Amino acid sequence: MPKSKTRNPKSKTLPEIQFTGVPMKVERTEPAMVIEWPRSLVHHHTYGLLSPFFEGLKQGVLRATHCTTPGCEKGYWLPPRADCPDCHARMEWHEFRNPVVGEVFTFTHVEYPGHGIEISYPYYQIDVKIPGCCTVMKGYLVRGKAKIGMKVKARFRKKDPTNTILDLYWEPAD
Amino acid sequence: MIRFKPGNLRVPRFQRPVYVVAAGTTDYRKHYPERKLEELTMMAFKMLLEENDLKADPLETKGLINMAVYGEFADHFQDQLLCEAKVHDYLGLDPLPNIGIKTGGATGGYSVLVGANSIASGYSNCTLVMGWERMDEVDTRTGNFYISTAACKDFETRLARMYASYYAPMARRFAHVFKVKEEIRAAIAVKNKGYALMSPFGHGGKKLTVEEVLAGRIACDPLHMDECCLMSVGSAAMLLCDEDTAYKLSDHPMRLNICGGTHTLRVADRRNLEVPLLPNETPGMYDWMEKKLNEPYPGFQSFLASRFAAYMAYRMAGVWGDPCDELDLVELHDAFTISDLQTYGDIGLRPYGKEEEYITSGDAYYGGRCPSNLSGGLLGTMHAVGATGVFQGVECFWQLQGKYDKFHGDPGMWERYGKKKPKDWQSLQIPKRRRALWISHAGVGSHVTCGILTNPREVKG
């Protein structure tokens, strides 16, 4: 990035301020002036207390949380959450034994995804009911055709993980 | 399992009545390079002040305003934080207080709710509520990605980056549970896009058949492109007042009641719950859902937030009977045909499990018992997200005032937006004008408001 010219300490005049950016492209002038305004950003996003879940995916392990307070929800939370919404106690981690088999509760065939999609499409996005869970986990099917009630098995992207939820995916269990 | 305690179910009560006195809107477009955002809000504000037959001149009316509530869905779209300050200054309202509201697709509805509370509490005698969205700074797929960040960024957004993909599984489960054919959803698209042809404000009106909708391109199966809402640019506004100010300004203000409800951001996290019953429903009437179908409530088929908002709003506004008999118009959040269909059960236009009857009976159509989305809705007219929940209320307000034709049928109104009034234009003015309801809805049902306008000339008390 260009800097202002170094100031001569003996000089009494301040250096002229320079434009250091990139000129915006004019896209159109009618019916009004419209410019192209590029945006490129990096966020530093934490998984916080859910880090064990995302670490688990890389190790080929599916982890959920559950509350041990009597009277609270008995099922496992998946997606996990660190704190119980009913009694506010810190939940405990549970590790599912592989193979983790669930059932397709509902699904969609995604033909028109949004900008930046990171998996090839069209593909089946599935909502999976896992025995013991009080929730229904969203995921995607890597092969086969989805159907309500079909059994699916969890798989993990251990090699070249994306470090996102895309490291968990499903395939037909049979 | 959520367990309500008595305090949770207290029905809201305003400390003094709240009225809608005037309304304004821009037209809505996919791209609106002709105007900057604040210039669009000025268009809506001027219409509100100048075209509502108020008894005070525009600047005198403006001189009564005590505060403003502004709704904007996403800073991503405007690419401008504190847009509220920019708009407020542009409208010439400094140094009056203003507040920005952000509750996703329900931003407009919650802006009205907060505005109503400012009147009800006595903080303000006259509050401007305004919503807007500028969704044309990015292309459609980027817009879809932005909207999908209103799903859970850790567990959902990456799975499609497209909101239709979060509604499509609900559509499939709804059809599976209640055995509803896709023709019903398609009929909703045909209806609402057809009504949009009568609106000078809209940009998605289309003459379609059910077959054409179903033969169209798929967005996320089973939802077709024509079953998905528009992405728009525009602004809408409403003026709320206490009773004295309302009648000082207008001979025909509408009484406002409005309540909200919420539920999980992720459908995944919905836990089973007993159905909260609307005033006209009876205990035990939904036992079949769990006993016969073994289907949880609200599951993937219903919206607890909408049910909760209607549960409260009906009691607050005194709607004790069959909503189809007591309401003369509803404007629902038809972001997708399926969300429209699901809502019929949530707000009691039909009992749960019989939602499709609202369409097949003809009740939902102009001339029917309780027509819906005569504005053209989000499918046909507009979805400039922050403006939407205000715009729906604006349409209800003008309908109850008997001014549908004034705002939709005047050729000058069409010309104002560079359009020509269609030769086959038809008035959709509702004949009975007692009450109108609108639903403002976010996420996959994360935030919902249920607003009810009551015409004091028709309904006493």
The reported pLDDT for the residue numbered B162 is 94
The pLDDT averaged over each successive group of 10 residues in chain B (461 residues) is: 80 97 98 97 98 98 98 94 96 98 98 98 98 97 94 94 96 96 98 98 98 98 98 98 98 98 93 94 93 89 97 98 98 98 98 98 98 98 98 98 98 98 98 98 97 96 69
The reported pLDDT for the residue numbered B460 is 85
The reported pLDDT for the residue numbered B153 is 94
Joined tokens for residue B310: 């209607």
Chain B partners of A127 at a C-beta cutoff of 8 Å? 169, 267-268, 300
Residue of B397, B377, B433, B428 whose CA lies nearest to B198: B428
- Nearest by CB to residue A134, choosing from B144, B168, B271, is B271
Joined tokens for residue A37: 């305004």
Contact B162 A28 (CB under 8 A): no
Does A41 fall in a domain? no
Does A105 fall in a domain? yes
Q: B6 - beta bridge partners? A: none
Does A15 fall in a domain? no
Statement: residue A2 has pLDDT above 70: no
Joined tokens for residue B66: 């005590």
Q: Chain B: nearest CA to A18, how far in angstroms?
A: 25
- Nearest by CB to residue B172, choosing from A45, A73, A106, is A106
Asked whether the beta carbons of A158 and A60 are under 8 A apart, the reply is yes
Q: Are strands B67-72 and B98-101 parallel, antiparallel or unpaired?
A: parallel
Nearest CA in chain B to A74: B1
Asked whether the beta carbons of B172 and A106 are under 8 A apart, the reply is yes
Contact A136 B161 (CB under 8 A): no
Which residues make Cβ contacts (< 8 Å) with residue B169, sequence separation at least 6? Answer: A106, A107, A108, A125, A127, B267, B300
**How far apart are alpha carbons B445 and B306 in whole angstroms?**
7
For residue B111, give the DSSP letter: H
Q: Chain B: nearest CA to A160, how far in angstroms?
A: 17
Nearest CA in chain A to B173: A106
Q: A104 - beta bridge partners? A: A128
Does A17 fall in a domain? no
- Which residue carries 């104002």 as its tokens? B416
**How far apart are alpha carbons B267 and B455 in whole angstroms?**
37
ipTM: 0.91
Contact B160 A111 (CB under 8 A): no
Asked whether the beta carbons of B276 and B348 are under 8 A apart, the reply is no
Asked whether the beta carbons of B373 and B268 are under 8 A apart, the reply is no
Does A27 fall in a domain? no
Nearest CA in chain B to A141: B159
Statement: residue A1 has pLDDT above 70: no
Contact B300 A105 (CB under 8 A): yes
The reported pLDDT for the residue numbered B4 is 82
Contact A106 B300 (CB under 8 A): yes
- Which residue carries 């959902």 as its tokens? B156
For residue B275, give the DSSP letter: P
**How far apart are alpha carbons B103 and B85 in whole angstroms?**
19
Contact B176 A31 (CB under 8 A): no
Interface test with B, best of A50, A69, A74, A110 (most B CBs within 10 A): A110
pLDDT bucket at A41, cuts 50 / 70 / 90? confident
The reported pLDDT for the residue numbered A3 is 55
**How far apart are alpha carbons B367 and A162 in whole angstroms?**
55
Q: Chain A: nearest CA to B387, how far in angstroms?
A: 23
Chain A partners of B137 at a C-beta cutoff of 8 Å? 37
Give me the sheet containing B233-241, strands edge to edge.
B98-101, B67-72, B126-134, B233-241, B19-25, B254-262, B447-454, B435-441, B329-331
Asked whether the beta carbons of A56 and A96 are under 8 A apart, the reply is no
Which residues make Cβ contacts (< 8 Å) with residue B264, sequence separation at least 6? Answer: B270, B446
Does A162 fall in a domain? yes
Query: Count of domains in chain A?
Result: 1
Q: H or E element: which one contains B33? A: none
**How far apart are alpha carbons B57 and B64 in whole angstroms?**
11
Asked whether the beta carbons of B171 and B179 are under 8 A apart, the reply is no
Which residues make Cβ contacts (< 8 Å) with residue B343, sequence separation at least 6? Answer: B303, B306, B332, B333, B349, B439, B441
Q: In chain B, what are the helix, strand and coil shares in percent, each to the nearest 5? A: 40, 15, 45
Asked whether the beta carbons of A72 and A63 are under 8 A apart, the reply is no
Asked whether the beta carbons of B168 and B195 are under 8 A apart, the reply is no
Does A119 fall in a domain? yes
Domain that holds residue A107: 48-172
Chain B partners of A169 at a C-beta cutoff of 8 Å? none
Rg, chain B, Cα only: 20
**How far apart are alpha carbons A136 and A127 in whole angstroms?**
6
Contact B33 A47 (CB under 8 A): no
* Averaged pLDDT, A26-55: 95
Asked whether the beta carbons of B207 and B426 are under 8 A apart, the reply is no
Chain A partners of B175 at a C-beta cutoff of 8 Å? none
Statement: residue A5 has pLDDT above 60: no
Would you list which residues of chain A are within 8 Å, Cβ to Cβ, of chain B? 28, 31-32, 34, 37, 39, 45, 47, 50, 73, 77-79, 105-118, 125, 127, 134-140, 148, 164-166
- Nearest by CB to residue B268, choosing from A117, A135, A164, is A135
Does A38 fall in a domain? no
Which residues make Cβ contacts (< 8 Å) with residue A139, sequence separation at least 6? Answer: A125, A126, A127, A128, A165, A168, A169, A170, B159
Contact A114 B34 (CB under 8 A): no
Chain B partners of A108 at a C-beta cutoff of 8 Å? 165, 168-169, 171-172, 220-223
Interface test with A, best of B31, B78, B159 (most A CBs within 10 A): B159
Chain A partners of B152 at a C-beta cutoff of 8 Å? 79
Chain B partners of A136 at a C-beta cutoff of 8 Å? 267-268, 270, 300
Q: Is B419 exposed, middle or buried (0-12, 13-18, 19+ CB in 10 A)?
A: middle
